[in-house]
Amino acid sequence: MDFSLTEEHEIIQAAAREFAQNEIAPVAAEFDESGEFPSDTIRAAGELGFMGVEIPEEYGGSGLDSISYVLIMAEISAADAAHGTIVSVNNSLYGVPLLEFGTEDQKQRFLTPVASGEVNGAYALTEPQSGSDARSMRSKAVLSDDGKYYTINGKKSWITSGPVARYVVVFAQTEHADGSACGISAFVVDSETDGFACGKHEPKLGIRASATCEIELTDYRCPVESRIGDEGQGFKIAMTVLDSGRIGIAAQSLGIAQAAYEAALEYSRDRKAFGSSIGSFQSIQNKLADMRTRIEASRLLVLQAAWAKQRAKKTGSKNTLNSCMAKLYASETCMWVTHQALQIHGGMGYSKELPLERYFRDAKITEIYEGTSEIQRMVIARLETGLR
């Protein structure tokens, strides 16, 4: 069993690290403070192929594998988690449904410009009253009498990249003109079309540069050609997307935790107290040992999930268990490690002069979005027991 990265993966990882540390890290605090969307660095990420890592080249992407994706996500997130979130949405939440369920025309029209970084994409599943309970969504898409378009009405909340996205994958309960229900369906909507509007922007604790807002659809006319997959296939599409997206968030968690650990390690060597470096104190050493161990365990789970995702593509199987375990453990490790790193820094960790307080704020969302830790545990247990 070989746990080493291939030479190609090492080159990709090094390229992502160089870009993240030279272009993103120097501006991360500024964008965190202002909450502005980092258009220039995201455009540069697109030029390097980071906005469509696993998307084939014919659709504007890089055509790389899942291992490459998690390596890139971890490096970008180590520099700034907000940039990592934006990259994750484009790659997983927006790219996967179109790549796996879209028609050739949809891939050319809606996937290529996003995967290439020309424009941004977003994913709209959550609603004000339905987060984890996606089946209770109230947004409706009613098919016209002539069967040519859907009229969509509804409100979506917590939409990452919503204020800047050109195209959004939207989920809605589908009905025919006679009132017959067809279940949840998925659609691509264009933010530049009448009936689309951004609502309130969310004032977030962390990942502040990843613009987040509500979106409202009012009598939005969506051509049938913009429906992804079959009518009623939306819930399956959404769950497939989340299986992929959780791996990206696990990699993001790994990157944040790694950055926090490295900061704490350096500080423990430099900081003197009672005549010695604090890294020589047993209490600090215990923290560092546990931090490193949990990070490495997370890394293995993330890489295993990415490897299993590639295998699932070939066999047509699902990768839910691996993605849930990686997301659960890596996100909780991220939160724990940033907490310990802040403790090691003491008062300086609480100051905005150092990035530790930003790592700590950014870490919390990894336990929430794309399925809370509670949901991950529920899914894992159900898969293991076969009980619901």
Catalytic residues: 370
In the block, tokens 């990259």 appear at: 87
Contact 333, 297 (CB under 8 A): yes
> Where would I find the H helices in the chain?
7-19, 25-34, 39-47, 66-79, 81-88, 95-101, 104-106, 112-115, 234-270, 282-315, 320-345, 356-365, 373-385
How far CA 240 is from CA of 4, 151, 211, 233, 319, in Å, comes to: 29, 25, 24, 11, 9
Residues in the chain: 388
In the block, tokens 């192929």 appear at: 49
In the block, tokens 């272009």 appear at: 23
Closest by CA to 31, choosing from 207, 209, 202, is 209
317 token code pair: 């199987």
Which residue type sits at 281? Answer: F
DSSP 64-101: --HHHHHHHHHHHHHH-HHHHHHHHIIIIIIHHHHHHH
- 3-class state of residue 152 by DSSP: strand
How far CA 260 is from CA of 165, 303, 362, in Å, comes to: 31, 20, 11
Q: Please, what's the largest Cα pairwise distance for the chain? A: 82
For residues 380 and 361, what is the distance between their CA atoms, to the nearest angstrom? 27
CA atoms within 13 A on the CB side of 215: 34
SS3 content of the chain, % helix, strand, coil (to 5): 55, 15, 25
In the block, tokens 């791996």 appear at: 247
In the block, tokens 């484009």 appear at: 90
Which residue type sits at 156? Answer: K
Q: Are strands 196-201 and 167-175 parallel, antiparallel or unpaired?
A: unpaired
C-beta atoms surrounding 47 within 10 Å: 12
Q: Are strands 227-228 and 121-124 parallel, antiparallel or unpaired?
A: unpaired
